[in-house]
Amino acid sequence: MRVLFVTSEVAPLIKTGGLADVSAALPLALRRLGDDVRVLVPGYPQVLTALESFKIEAFFTGIAGFPDARLFASTLPDGVPLWVIDCPELFQRDGGIYQDGNGNDWPDNALRFGLLSKVAAILGGQGSPLDWKPEIVHCNDWQTGLTPAYMHFSPGSAPCVMTVHNLAFQGVFPPQAISELDIPAESFQPHGVEYYGNFSFLKAGLYYANHITTVSPTYAEEIKTDALGFGFQGLLGARSSSLTGILNGINDSEWNPANDPALACGYEAGNMAGKAANKRELQMQMGLTVDPKMPLFGLVGRFTHQKGLDVVLEIAPQLVASPAQLVLLGSGDATMQSDALALARQYPGQIAAVVGFDENLSHLIEAGADIFLMPSRFEPCGLNQMYSQRYGTPPIVHATGGLVDSVVDCNAATLAQGAATGFVFNNMTAPDLLRCVQRALAVYRDKKSWPALQLNGMNRDFGWQKSAAKYREIYASLLPTG
Ligand code: ADP
Ligand code: GLC
């Protein structure tokens, strides 16, 4: 199958979160299954400077409302073919890919991601300038949400799959955006792109895509409810027969404790000695008291309400009084950032906080911590809890979304079955998280149960193979028969 995979970020070129990891790993897994998958991304400076070579493949001029653009053909480091949209006016700028340096959304985001959506639709339609014609166009999150709409209004286009990585980000713009983006005015209605009086890219994708997927089976159910549907529950309920939850995998060569270049020492199931060296290295690098016996909790992620960092900060004093140590890496909400740094100053040697994005340190935390914290209020899938299991660092997770689908709570029964891999708690409150922390510490002190728990997680298969096969089934079901 020929698949065009459209995304606003792809690792290792440009990453703000899990979408970039998935956009690198899923196309690679699909290619290994024999499909011809190619990735389309905007030409941000980070992408263009990372390309070793490229060839100009096509020009897009005179598209109503959009500046002129070029299409470059190149490859990702792992060999996956890559197409990059070069449009300096929209993509060549300092700052973040969605926001400026002050954290404000770029004012022309509708046009920027409208162009990404439009180019994808052209490549998947009858008027494509390329010889290579995709049989399926696979869109991801709101930034690509207009593609299914453009393709719907362009007869003869390939079928479209829309994957929701996070329903909380919806690409909402004022109604007049519709006239600037070459979308037929009649689609501005509840059965179309209208969303509570505004215009939403994600709504367009969810309404017009031939099939919707999301990144875990549990989240696929949750987004049909008032609690987690973010206003889309009605539409998603109505489209239930075209909605599938497929758990993300992990890139298990990049996230492999046996040969991870970011670690102080490699280790694997059956040969765990190196894990202690990573704990020591992490304690040293972070200025924590070097103590092999002191339980060390780690957290990596966006500092946001979604990720529950506020509750972690609330219980941090009791957590370290257990006693234990805590290391935090992430960025996001300004108050959470300064609260995390203040706690680190208040508890020197016990709490360390790094504000920023640091790929190597994130690997070292997965390896060097004893227990990983991921108490997200909601979590479409989550990758860190899978990385941590692979690294022998059992996670503590809230019972939501993909966390439910990827962590087995530790109790007498699941331990006896060899199934337990972490700790799951039900109510996202400080007392419940703290109780779960204490439960984890009790198992940590049990010299028989803890290694068994670590091994169960390390031996689980979180690779992409099974999930990639499920995406193929969906693609195949959308192809014309015969
Ligand atoms: P989300 O996409 O919601 O942020 P995921 O768990 O799916 O959450 O993926 C987050 C990805 O980004 C993981 O690969 C994680 O290691 C990485 N990450 C998040 N914050 C940081 C950070 N501050 N430094 C390094 N890596 C980070
Ligand atoms: C989103 C979600 C996260 C998921 C990631 C990749 O950013 O918040 O749960 O793992 O996308 O699908």
Segment 440-470, tens digit of pLDDT:
999 999 999 999 999 999 999 999 999 999 9
- The pTM of this model reads 0.96
pLDDT score of 481: 78
* Ligand 2 center–CA 288 separation, angstroms: 30
Determine the average pLDDT of the residues in 327-353.
97
Find out whether the beta carbon of 299 lies less than 6 Å from any atom of ligand 1.
Answer: no
Euclidean distance between CA atoms 270 and 482, whole angstroms: 51
Phi, psi dihedrals of residue 40, rounded to the nearest 5°: -115, 125
Q: For residues 182-195, give the mean pLDDT.
A: 93
**Ligand nearest to the backbone CA of 219:** 2
How far does the centroid of ligand 2 lie from the alpha carbon of residue 307, in Å?
A: 11
Query: Average per-residue pLDDT in the chain?
Result: 97
pLDDT for res 384 = 98
Ligand whose nearest atom lies closest to the CA of 381: 2
Q: Is the minimum distance from the CB of 215 to ligand 2 under 6 angstroms?
A: yes
Predicted pLDDT of residue 102 = 87
243 compared with 180, residue with greater pLDDT = 243
Tell me which ligand sits closest to the C-alpha of residue 388: 1
What distance in angstroms lies between residue 364's CA and the mean position of ligand 1's atoms? 14
In 64-121, DSSP assigns E strands to 69-75, 81-86
The mean pLDDT of 413-437, rounded to a whole number, is 98
Distance from the alpha carbon of residue 438 to the mean position of ligand 1, in angstroms: 26
Q: What is the dihedral of CA 327, 330, 334, 340, to 10 degrees?
A: 0
* Ligand 2 pocket, mutate which of 9, 140, 142, 166 (most atoms under 8 A from CB): 166
Query: Which pLDDT does position 428 carry in this prediction?
Result: 97
Q: To test ligand 2's pocket by mutation, which of 19, 22, 305 has the most ligand atoms within 8 angstroms of CB?
A: 19
Q: For residue 241, give the DSSP letter.
A: G
Mutation probe of ligand 1 site: the residue of 337, 362, 398 with most atoms within 8 A of C-beta: 362
Q: What is the pLDDT of residue 325?
A: 98
> In which band, very low, low, confident or very high, does the pLDDT at 119 lie, cut at 50, 70 and 90?
very high
Quote the pLDDT of residue 52: 84
User: Is residue 383 in contact with ligand 1, taking CB distance under 6 Å?
Assistant: yes
Residue nearest to atom 9 of ligand 1 (CA): 18
Which atom of ligand 1 approaches the CA of 359 most closely?
25
Atom number of ligand 2 nearest to Cα 380: 9
Cβ–ligand 2 distance for 35 under 6 Å, the answer no
The helix/strand/coil state of 75 is strand
Structure tokens at 307: 């990720």
| DSSP symbols for 328-397 | EEE-B-HHHHHHHHHHHHHSTTTEEEEES--HHHHHHHHHH-SEEEE--S--SS-SHHHHHHHTT--EEE
Homologous superfamily of 273-458:
Glycogen Phosphorylase B; (3.40.50.2000)
pLDDT tens, residue by residue, 367-393? 999 999 999 999 999 999 999 999 999
Ligand 1 binding pocket includes 230 (Cβ within 6 Å) = no
What mean pLDDT do residues 209-228 have?
A: 98
Checking if the pLDDT of 482 tops 70, the result is: no
Q: Residues 6 or more apart from 35 whose CB is under 8 A from it?
A: 1, 2, 3, 472, 475
Please tell me the distance from the alpha carbon of residue 409 to that of residue 319, in angstroms, as a whole number: 20
Reference 467, options 143, 135, 162, 217; nearest CA is: 217
Q: Taking the CA atoms of the chain, what radius of gyration do you get in angstroms?
A: 23
Ligand showing the shortest atom-to-Cα distance for residue 17: 1
Question: How many CA atoms are closer than 13 Å to the CA of 480, on its beta-carbon side?
Answer: 5
**pLDDT average, residue stretch 23-32:** 97
Distances (CA, A) of 134 to 100, 244, 341: 34, 22, 48
The CATH code of domain 2-249+465-478 reads 3.40.50.2000
Which residue, judged by its Cα, is nearest atom 12 of ligand 1?
A: 17
Q: Provide the residue ranges of all domains of the chain, joining segments of one domain with +.
A: 2-249+465-478, 273-458
Q: What is the pLDDT of residue 125?
A: 98
Categorize the per-residue pLDDT at 159 as very low, low, confident or very high, splitting at 50, 70 and 90.
very high
For the cut 70, the answer to whether the pLDDT of residue 234 exceeds it is yes
**Mean pLDDT confidence for 193-213:** 97
